[in-house]
Structure 1
């Protein structure tokens, strides 16, 4: 389990994502991993960041990416480890899964300060740099092997990478903002694994 200041957890129901390119820094864990935080390679973690208090925030809506429903149980054994947190805090305001009223939240909301740097959580290739009414300005990175990460609500125009660019863990992707469906600046962070959105927390160091 990673350290967080505040976490609201829901019941997770994944949705589909793109396939990976096979150039992965991870591997799928066994069907019955010894822990949800099992290491899948020899990558050394980056230094841990300190936590800060999380303010109240209106929760994100769905992103607008087209997805296909997939049974959650299919991917229950898929776990892995990202190299680092994508922001300079581990404070989480809202967790992954269903909320009261049936709305599904496909990631976690990390309460990083507005204007602070959003970083790649692991090495990979940028596959999307875009902006829409849900995620706002966002970046999506392919880590290979069907593993993707998505970083949303950036300041409009702050994305500092381009499609096809290779990034290392810790490389800047953009700045924390409030674009799209968001009431205060924060980073909405998603992980896709094996064709499904999954809870990012077990993947973070």
Structure 2
């Protein structure tokens, strides 16, 4: 009997739709700071071999980092050439945030998990391409990095 690949294609299409539309809708407003610390790097800095696509917040290793808005964890994995272990949260409406340089054992969330604004997601680390303990934080709109300082409240 020959398999009906149209059924498989329909299931894959439905799964892709569900994964890309997590049901979250970003409601607007300013984000809180994702961690307590000192701003040490800004968006758009020329770092020689790349342009910095987020902000860096220096803090001692182990400092909690928090989700800046309700969302669904989209990625939690290693990027040894850059972010170290990082987490990306989808807030809906094309808005995602990325948190980098933590150690995997400090991550408190899993892919697919819904998180709430202010929920601890991990701890600051010094993993990946990093010269000291800090949180690398990005905001992306429709996949394109934008200046996080335009999104973070005072």
User: Under TM normalisation by the shorter chain, which class is it?
Assistant: 0.7 to 0.9
From 96, 114, 132, the equivalent of 1:184 is: 132
Structure showing greater radius of gyration is 2
Number of residues of Structure 1 aligned to a counterpart in Structure 2: 134
1:99-110 alignment runs, 5 A limit: 99=46, 101=48, 103-110=50-57
| Structure-2 separation of matches of 1:124 and 1:160 | 15
Instruction: Check the 8 A contact 2:26/2:95 in 1, yes or no.
Output: no
Residue segments in structure 1 that go unaligned for 5+ positions in a row? 1-18, 27-39, 42-80
Residue segments in structure 2 that go unaligned for 5+ positions in a row? 1-19
Whether 1:122 aligns to 2:123 is no
TM-score when scaled to structure 1?
A: 0.61
From 197, 200, 205, the equivalent of 2:145 is: 197
From 80, 85, 97, the equivalent of 1:149 is: 97
Q: 1:33-82: per-residue Cα shift (whole Å, max 9, x none)?
A: xxxxxxx45xxxxxxxxxxxxxxxxxxxxxxxxxxxxxxxxxxxxxxx22
TM-score when scaled to structure 2?
A: 0.79
| Paired residue secondary structure (1:157) | helix
Residue 98 of structure 1, CA deviation: 4.0
Hey, which of these two has a bigger chunk of helix by percent? 2
